[in-house]
Amino acid sequence: MRLTRERVADEYEWVRGRADAVVPLVNDVRTDLGDLFDTDVDEVSADDYRREVDAVFADGDRAVNVAAMVAILRDLDVEGDYPGFVVDELIGRELAGTIAGGQPLRLLGEATFHYADVHTHADEADETAGSDDLDAALAAGFQTRLPGWDWTEAESPFAVVDGPASSEENR
């Protein structure tokens, strides 16, 4: 695989165009996790998703890595699928974490990937082994970084020093 600026732009357009498949999965995951954790989580719109895709791909270092993992999962197919189970899970988890951002969101994105993945199934006739992992990774990563969870909307009660991370200009 060769990654160029043009290839990253192509993968960006492809990810942005997946809103019809990814946004319903994002909202299903948010509803399920909200029920499990007894909290309300805001739904995500296609516009919310696209804005966040723009933000991820605006960071060139992140964009090239996201584009590479997306391209791999789009093309990954293993005869009989089971032998490839580990690699598509590994790349899917890493993609979700990379999209989600730094810790603790990265870990939450990775964990959410596994939840989303068991609820996502590719149409075997039309898709590769990695395609359901790709949609699950996109849903997990973007649902994690998008607002809507109450705990992400307020300052942490554990900050013991008032510094740049908690100042108004850095929010």
What confidence score (pLDDT) does residue 122 get? 62
pLDDT in tens, 126-158: 576 677 789 999 999 999 999 888 777 778 788
80, pLDDT greater than 80: no
Between residues 31 and 118, the one the model is more confident about: 31
Tell me, what's the pLDDT at 156? Answer: 78
**Domain tally, the chain:** 1
CA dihedral (44, 12, 139, 31) in degrees, to 10, reads 10
pTM score of the predicted model: 0.87
pLDDT at 84 over 90: no
Question: What residue numbers bound the domain in which 89 lies?
Answer: 5-170
Cite the DSSP H helix spans in the chain.
5-16, 19-36, 46-58, 60-75, 85-100, 105-118, 131-145, 150-153
